[in-house]
Amino acid sequence: MSLSSVGAAMGAQSQQQTLEAVNVNLLKQSQNQQKELTSQLLQSVAPAQASSPESALGQHVDIRV
């Protein structure tokens, strides 16, 4: 195996590892953005009124994501 082919193979492997790291980073950023948007949406929704004044339905809603 020639030195140039070894160098080319190592360069291709390095490029593949870099692309994988970038993809993982982009996926993490996307997930964080989805969490933030979901949290903002849940916080922006007004609580629903209970069907009767004695009911506590809808008063204690967990919005943690």
At 30-48, the pLDDT tens digits run 999 999 999 898 888 876 6
Backbone angles phi, psi at 64, to 5 degrees: -70, 140
Q: Is the pTM of this model over 0.75?
A: no
Taking 90 as the threshold, does the pLDDT of residue 50 lie above it?
A: no
Q: How far apart are CA 31 and CA 39, in angstroms?
A: 12
User: What pLDDT score does 32 carry?
Assistant: 96
The pLDDT tens digits for 8-24 are 899 999 999 999 999 99
With contact defined as beta carbons under 8 Å apart, do 39 and 65 qualify?
yes
* pLDDT confidence bin for 65, thresholds 50/70/90: low
DSSP for 9-62, please give it: HHHHHHHHHHHHHHHHHHHHHHHHHHHHHHHHHHHHSPPPPPSSTT--TTSS--
